[in-house]
Chains A and B, each alone.
Chain A
Amino acid sequence: MNSALFIILATVIISAAVGVYAGSKVKMNLENWTVGGRRFGVILIWVLMAGEIYTTFTFLGASGWAYSRGAPTFYIMIYGTLAYTVSFFILPAVWKAGKRFGLHTQPDFFNKRYQSQTLGILVALVGVISIVPYLQLQLQGLGLIVEVASDGAIRSGPAIVLSFLLTCAFVYTSGIRGAAWVSIIKDVLMITAVGIVGLGVPHIYFGGIGNMFRNLIEKYPGHLTFPGATANMDTLWVMSTVLLTGLGFYMWPHVFASAFSAKSARTIRKNAIIMPLYQIPVLLVFLVGFTALLVLPALENGDMAFLELVRQTYPGWFLGFIGAAGAVTAMVPASVLVLFASTLLTKNIYQAAFAPRTSEQTVLRLSRLMVLVVMAAALLFALRFPNALVNLLLIGYDGVTQFFPGVVLGLFWTRASKEGVLAGLFTGISIVVVLVFGGHDPFWGMNAGFVALLANAIVTVLISLLIGPRRQTSGISPERTDDQTAKGEEK
């Protein structure tokens, strides 16, 4: 057994064991499984949310984009920062609504606020359709990283199957708590890996970051400003894309719901304040991609830049360490994605539409079984039809971002009505489908999803003004989510 192989296997198995252990002392019910009993403090919320934004895309994609596209990759650093800023303002209100009404998922929120099962089911459907391709992507990314890092000792297929089993194990037993605990391991590994490589390679090859960039500017003028090496990712594209993804990040069902795990609204705010610091490792990942462009200019696949440069620079065991960090980095988001896809399917689609009298314990049991089903589906796609869902992946972000008007207006504007939100959602999603599949993305230089979001927001507001909410649909309205602890102040 070579050392890289040993490091990778030991790390993923220990991580999964920690994840299983995390839930072993808690009596499992739906509340504990999906939202950790609403007891997470700043540290667990931090690693959980960081675990969700730092996916395999961070390792392979951000450096790959730096390598093959140049400056447009900077959007990744920006959109995260915008997302945390948005979360600072809206997530405490989301949390309060969740606490007051015992919400577990994003469709629960729509359901309660707009008193509409239809809307809840629609949101759940869009959520699941967006999640599955994303989950598949995590599995494929993991397979790729492990195969390269173990120097072919573990092929991609078996790596995917093994991680599938391990991830299912700790999601099944521990739910969100398992994901958060494994996130701690993931964070330590990833920051170490990115720190060593990101600071290391520019020094090893060029004696410093400044010198590396001077070389790059000389050889590839234009690479470090928009639109970089691309034809259509100019400044306007970057601006519209960071707005779209910055507003949309917390609209992912799994990220939205992780707010419910916090122990207080205050925890969420504090977390939002410190989260942008977590974007600094992304800068280091860019440095790796840029250095790779100078050192290994002829790579066929830019996404391999990070791994290939490490292979070229460091000993084999270190590549194994990178593989281990990459594998855990894929397992954490995969676990949260599958957890919420399963809960959405069981609670917000099956129970809401077909079996309203199912007990909560049964919902939990079915959700846990659904974990296996959803993961198996993603596994099947990853192994047998890797390209079948590529199109869905393209519109995942565009799709979930269309929830934004419904969430924000729902929290802060009493007049927002279910008719408005439904009409807005249909408008937004239709525009996304037409523009993206019609080959019109970017549209007039802007991200198509952003165009759809604008139309969606306008339609939501107009229809809400025309068809206001009925009196009794108070559910979650601005006054009522105002302050959970200040019940007495309400009239």
Chain B
Amino acid sequence: MSRIKKISLLFGAVPFITLVFCLPLVNRVRPMILGLPFLLFWIALWVLATPLALYLADRADKKSAGSGSSGGGDET
């Protein structure tokens, strides 16, 4: 697991930054977006964005692992 690269940790930090440390900044109901109060919209947005962040983290890991990472790089 020393294969975890800094850049993938950076992508992995995205949900922690947006869904934990940004909370004091987004604790309000307006503006309402897509019918959701702002706080809930913010949370839903970053929950949905997390798979993307993890996908990028995975790609970064695989790239830097070079020749081939563990467990076989079977289907993607």
Contacts and interface: CB of A to CB of B under 8 A. Distances in A.
B15 A225 contact: no
B20 to A, nearest CB: 5
Contacts of A276: 15, 47-48, 50-51, 54
B1 A82 contact: no
Contacts of A484: 70-71
Chain A residues touching B, majority SS:
helix
A226 B23 contact: yes
Contacts, number: 133
Contact of B23 (A81, A238, A266): A238
B32 A266 contact: no
A38 B70 CA distance: 16
> By DSSP majority rule, is chain B's interface helix, strand, loop, or mixed?
helix
A82 B43 contact: no
Contact of A483 (B40, B57, B70): B70
A213 B12 CA distance: 32
Interface in B2-33: 2-4, 9, 12, 15-16, 19-21, 23-24, 27-29, 32
A90 to B, nearest CB: 8
A412 B48 CA distance: 29
A85 B70 contact: no
Which of B2, B46, B73 has the most chain A CB within a 10 Å cutoff?
B2
A1 interface: no
A481 B4 CA distance: 13
A89 B4 contact: yes
Interface string A479-491: 1011111100000
Contacts of A88: 12, 54, 57-58
Nearest to A214: B32
B51 A277 contact: yes
Interface string B29-42: 10010111101100
Given A276-B48, A280-B47, A265 B70 contact: yes
Nearest to A78: B19
Interface residues of B, number: 40
A468 interface: no
Contacts of B50: 81, 84-85, 276
A266 B9 contact: no
A269 B39 CA distance: 29
B19 A242 contact: yes
Interface in A211-270: 211, 213-214, 217, 224-226, 235, 238-239, 242-243, 264-267, 269
Contact of A208 (B35, B43, B48, B74): B35
B76 to A, nearest CB: 8
A33 interface: no
Given A74-B43, A78-B47, A280-B47, A265 B71 contact: yes
Question: Which 9 A-B pairs rank lowest in CB-CB distance, beginning with the nearest?
Answer: A210-B35, A264-B71, A266-B71, A93-B1, A265-B71, A209-B35, A276-B50, A273-B54, A224-B37
29 contacts: A71-B40, A74-B40, A78-B19, A81-B46, A89-B12, A93-B1, A96-B1, A210-B35, A213-B29, A213-B32, A213-B35, A224-B37, A225-B39, A235-B23, A235-B24, A243-B20, A264-B71, A264-B72, A265-B70, A273-B51, A276-B47, A276-B54, A286-B40, A412-B1, A412-B2, A481-B1, A484-B70, A485-B70, A485-B72
